[in-house]
Amino acid sequence: MMQHDKQMLPDSACPVDQLGWFVNHTLSTRERESIENHLATCPTCQAKVTAWTELRQAMRQVADQTPGPRADLFSQIEQQIDLLPAPAPLSWLSLFFQACWRTLLVVGEHFRVQARLIRRGLFWMPLLIVPLVGSMVYLPQLWQQTPGETALFAALLSALGMAFLYGPQIDPVREIALVTPTSPHLVLGVRCALISGYTLLLNCGLVLPFLAARGIVTPIWFLTNWLAPLCCLSAIALLLSILLSANASALICLILWSLRLLDQFQTFLFGDGRPEILWQQQYEHFWHLGTPLFGITIVALLLAFLVLERKEYVVQ
Ligand SMILES: [Zn+2]
């Protein structure tokens, strides 16, 4: 065919489009006669018709050699499909469990990665509360079994942990993390859950049962005077670390904490005859509010996430 094309180019009057149909015998009698008249005078079209005819014969030979499909092919396929075991219909319950399982896997992976990135100190530091509580219980002459001071230390340890949870000074891989699809919120959320969960487990799962069993604290006292200030100071530490920096947050928390210790220190120095200072009393009263402190905790955490969004957006 190519050879024919190269040798002779068709005229503009040549019915090139109809030549294929002519070879196929699908033209009307009139069209057919018209083409035959043209072919008598045009060697270019004759060559094209020869080429089309050769191609048609070649295709016919191939078709003759290719065995056709069995007549019952489709019914056979349908029978095979019917024989296949039908997949068990998935109930909404199993779909729900599958979704839960996938979510658990993703969350677990995030926790695993973040647990490796968080400073080891954040896991060790809260453990200091264990010897403190032990000494309070077993060395009563030193602490006179006053859990208030130990609660103060527990709050400080927890707050320092939160201050060093997230931020440019803390994270060597933060720059890399910022360009990955993992959102800063997710990173902060996972870390927050890890460290606060760990601290809560330590305090509520170990310290509270131990002290309650010794009759030193009641669960209500623990909730109001131990857990509430601990959560509140920790949330403030987290917010400050995102607003300012980890070091500034730690310093401010230390000052907030020292102000409470000042009251204890004056009591220690002057005994009951110490001068009454109004702001100190009010300040100390604030840390024993109980439920409102949990409210402040939630607000501070929400603010921390909100501020983080704005900050990371600016960085990027
Ligand atoms: Zn022609």
How far is the centre of ligand 1, averaged over its atoms, from the C-alpha of 13 (Å)? 7
Chain segment 227-257, per-residue pLDDT in tens: 888 888 888 888 888 888 888 888 998 888 8
How far is the centre of ligand 1, averaged over its atoms, from the C-alpha of 36 (Å)? 10
Task: Look at residue 134 in the predicted model and tell me its pLDDT.
Answer: 79
The amino acid that residue 90 corresponds to is: L
Task: Look at residue 46 in the predicted model and tell me its pLDDT.
Answer: 93
How far is the centre of ligand 1, averaged over its atoms, from the C-alpha of 38 (Å)? 6
How far is the centre of ligand 1, averaged over its atoms, from the C-alpha of 58 (Å)? 24
CB 187 within 8 A of CB 114: yes
Q: Give the gyration radius of the chain's Cα atoms.
A: 42
How far is the centre of ligand 1, averaged over its atoms, from the C-alpha of 71 (Å)? 44
CB 188 within 8 A of CB 251: no
Chain segment 74-120, per-residue pLDDT in tens: 888 888 888 877 666 677 888 888 889 998 988 888 788 777 777 77
CB 35 within 8 A of CB 27: yes
Task: Look at residue 215 in the predicted model and tell me its pLDDT.
Answer: 74
How far is the centre of ligand 1, averaged over its atoms, from the C-alpha of 59 (Å)? 25
Neighbours of ion ligand 1 (CB under 5 A): 14, 42, 44-45
* Three-state DSSP class for residue 66: coil
How far is the centre of ligand 1, averaged over its atoms, from the C-alpha of 16 (Å)? 7
Question: What are the two backbone dihedrals, phi and then psi, of residue 143, each rounded to the nearest 5 degrees?
Answer: -105, -10
How far is the centre of ligand 1, averaged over its atoms, from the C-alpha of 33 (Å)? 14
Task: Look at residue 40 in the predicted model and tell me its pLDDT.
Answer: 93
How far is the centre of ligand 1, averaged over its atoms, from the C-alpha of 4 (Å)? 12
Alpha carbon distance 226, 217 (integer Å):
10
In the structure encoding, which two tokens stand for residue 300, read together?
């501070």
Alpha carbon distance 160, 139 (integer Å):
26
How far is the centre of ligand 1, averaged over its atoms, from the C-alpha of 200 (Å)? 94
How far is the centre of ligand 1, averaged over its atoms, from the C-alpha of 182 (Å)? 69
How far is the centre of ligand 1, averaged over its atoms, from the C-alpha of 80 (Å)? 55
How far is the centre of ligand 1, averaged over its atoms, from the C-alpha of 37 (Å)? 10
How far is the centre of ligand 1, averaged over its atoms, from the C-alpha of 28 (Å)? 19
Those residues with Cβ within 8 angstroms of residue 231's Cβ, 6 or more apart along the chain or in another chain: 196, 293, 294, 297
Task: Look at residue 166 in the predicted model and tell me its pLDDT.
Answer: 73
Residue of 46, 38, 37, 39 lying closest to 8 (CA atoms): 46
**Residues of the chain under the 50 pLDDT cut:** 1-6, 316
* Burial grade of 308 (CB within 10 A; 0-12, 13-18, 19 or more): buried
Q: How many CB atoms lie within 10 A of CB 200?
A: 16
How far is the centre of ligand 1, averaged over its atoms, from the C-alpha of 40 (Å)? 9
How far is the centre of ligand 1, averaged over its atoms, from the C-alpha of 17 (Å)? 11
Task: Look at residue 175 in the predicted model and tell me its pLDDT.
Answer: 55
Task: Look at residue 225 in the predicted model and tell me its pLDDT.
Answer: 82
| Residue ranges in 179-290 assigned as alpha helix (H) | 184-200, 208-213, 219-221, 228-243, 246-270, 278-286
Task: Look at residue 17 in the predicted model and tell me its pLDDT.
Answer: 87
| One-letter-per-residue 3-state SS of 13-33 | CCCHHHHHHHHHCCCCHHHHH
CB 166 within 8 A of CB 188: yes
